[in-house]
Amino acid sequence: MSLRYAERMTNMNPSALRQLLQLGADPEVISFGGGYPDASIFPLEHLSFVFNAAINDHGREALQYTVPNGLPRLRQQVAERAATVGIDCTSDEVLILQGGQQGLDLAAKMMINKGDVVIMEDPTFLGALAAFTPYEPRYVTVPMDAEGMDMAALERALKANPEAKFIYSVPEFQNPTGVTMSLARRKSLIELANRFDMIIIEDTPYREIRFQGEAIPPLKSMDTENRVIHLGSFSKILAPGLRLGWAIASDEIIQRMTMLKLGVDTQCSTLNMKAVSLFLENFDIESHIVTIRQTYLRKKNLMLETIRQTFPQQVSFTEPSGGLFTWLTFPEGFDTALFMKQRALPEARVAYVPGAAFFANEPKTNHARISYSTQTDEAIVKGMTALGQLLKESI
Ligand SMILES: Cc1ncc(COP(=O)(O)O)c(C=O)c1O
């Protein structure tokens, strides 16, 4: 049989995805690869209460179809929470999504024609590349430092590509680097977007998982020209299995994304939306988020402390103030994928995500993304110590 794939499949590489999914599969291996939240802090009792209430008290509504943009009450609650960080929007400017990931797909579907330029951080979120690539864009990447995107480089990229469709950024605790964009850079980014008439996709699933330092206003709160599509998620503040997130953007953009969502999945699960809405109504999600922050701060400290004690000095790492990840940089020429396959997995029994996949255009082999969220304290110390010792022998 000849499978007559569309041209867009040419750039898709299923074996890379399979390899990634297999990383954590061996129970003997301590995997720092996945970006899963710590399941031990899912608020099971409260979720059990709201799912029961959704069925027992509101079952006929909660198991029925609803409008494609999401339950009105939940949209209103998302808008109210957004107002607390300076995002002024109505519930009609909110679209409930199947996780923030769906917002990346819908935004790409709405804007990208084959060959269009998308400007993004280098490195960037793998899931964004997975969402955008089927629409066959050309990526223009902007380097980052400890304050996020380099604005001089962004300006050059915009001058060279004035027809670009959008700028994609993860301003807080970026996946994969853990880096947060400073306030000054955010102001510059908005100023550049205004000047070059550019849409920004602001992807913020980790925004509320800040465990150190002062919160920085989201780009959307500085957006006076309605050019930011702000994406958020319940995955890291409640549970990713709910598959619920949101987009906040102008009425016009939300209407178009909603039309596309209708064709993709009609709507998000009414039951899950109802349960989350009841959760926000009945329980204090902010105090739950405090627990999440405390847990990840402890784990982040433990991981970085173990790295400091056991890793060779030639390996540097980022110091995130929130989120789930740190980003390791090895000496030039070091190949983290090869090292994992040949040494880290068989000898240290440790997995991470080799960094090359996070670069849209030119893969760099001397990086790795490590997550401190999923493993227990003991496993963090054991796994990182084993990796550090192995690296000391090898570098
Ligand atoms: C930067 C970034 N954006 C979006 C997502 C999508 O998350 P979800 O679809 O679970 O909301 C993730 C998940 O890991 C992420 O790291």
Q: Is residue 193 part of a domain?
A: yes
The closest-lying atom of ligand 1 relative to the alpha carbon of residue 125 is 1
For 100-125, write each residue's pLDDT tens digit: 999 999 999 999 999 999 999 999 99
Residues 124 and 32 in one domain: no
Is residue 199 included in any domain, yes or no?
A: yes
Indicate whether 188 belongs to any domain. yes
Identify whether 302 is part of a domain: yes
Cα 244 to ligand 1 centre (Å): 11
Q: Does pLDDT of 283 surpass 80? A: yes
The answer to the question of residue 53 being in a domain is no
If one residue of 78, 97, 235 were mutated to test the ligand 1 pocket, choosing by the most ligand atoms within 8 A of its CB, it would be: 235
Q: How far apart are CA 72 and CA 395, in angstroms?
A: 56
Rounded to the nearest whole angstrom, what is the distance from the C-alpha of residue 310 to the centroid of ligand 1?
31
Within this chain, do residues 243 and 294 fall inside the same structural domain, yes or no?
no
Same-domain pairing of 83 and 158: yes
* pLDDT tens by residue, 218-271: 999 999 999 999 999 999 999 999 999 999 999 999 999 999 999 999 999 999
Which atom from ligand 1 is nearest to the alpha carbon of 101?
9
- Do residues 24 and 76 both lie within one domain? no
83 and 132, same domain (yes or no): yes
Cβ 125 under 6 angstroms from ligand 1:
yes
Alpha carbon of 233 to ligand 1 centroid (Å): 7
Same domain, 27 and 73: no
pLDDT over 90 at 18, yes or no? no
State pTM to two decimals: 0.97
Give mean pLDDT, residues 287-296: 98
**Residue 157 domain flag:** yes
Q: Cα dihedral angle (298, 302, 305, 310), rounded to 10 degrees?
A: -170
Sign for the CA dihedral angle at 39, 42, 45, 49 comes to: negative
Q: Domain containing 122 — which CATH number?
A: 3.40.640.10
| CATH code for the domain of 323 | 3.90.1150.10
Whole-number Å distance between alpha carbons of 285 and 362: 41
When mean pLDDT is compared across 20-29, 243-252, 311-320, the lowest value belongs to 20-29
Would the pLDDT of 15 be above 80?
no
99 Cβ closer than 6 Å to some ligand 1 atom? yes
Share of the chain above pLDDT 90, in %: 93
235 and 329 belong to one structural domain: no
Range of the domain at 37: 20-42+287-394
Residues 117 and 203 in one domain: yes
Q: What mean pLDDT, rounded, does the chain reach?
A: 96
Q: Do 219 and 123 belong together in one domain?
A: yes
127 in contact with ligand 1, CB cutoff 6 A? yes
Say yes or no to pLDDT of 16 above 70: no
pLDDT single digits (tens) 148-203: 999 999 999 999 999 999 999 999 999 999 999 999 999 999 999 999 999 999 99
Residues 171 and 104 in one domain: yes
What's the number of domains the chain is made of?
2
For the segment 22-26, the average pLDDT, to the nearest whole number, is 70
Site to probe by mutation for ligand 1, drawn from 233, 324, 371 as the one with most ligand atoms within 8 Å of Cβ, is 233
**Average pLDDT for 345-360:** 95
Q: Is residue 47 part of a domain?
A: no
Q: Is 323 in the pocket of ligand 1 (CB under 6 A)?
A: no
Domain end point (choices 266, 297, 318): 266
24 inside domain: yes
**Is any ligand 1 atom within 6 A of the Cβ of residue 232?**
no
Helix residue ranges per DSSP H, 84-220: 99-111, 126-132, 151-160, 183-195
| Same domain (yes/no): 24, 173 | no
pLDDT of residue 13: 73
Q: Is the CB of 35 under 6 A from ligand 1?
A: yes
Q: Cα separations (Å) of 17 from 13, 100, 126?
A: 7, 19, 10
Closest CA to 377 of 270, 329, 305, 291: 305
Strand, coil or helix: 138: strand
Instruction: Check pLDDT > 90 for residue 34.
Output: no
- Please say which residue of 235, 266, 297 terminates a domain: 266
Stretch 6-31: mean pLDDT: 77
Residue 121 Cβ < 6 Å to ligand 1: no
Task: Inform me whether the pLDDT recorded for 56 exceeds 90.
Answer: yes
Task: Tell me which residue of 121, 108, 241 sits closest to 165, measured CA to CA.
Answer: 108
Query: What average pLDDT does this structure show over 92-96?
Result: 98
Give, for ligand 1, the residue of 97, 106, 201, 203 to mutate: max count of ligand atoms closer than 8 Å to Cβ: 203
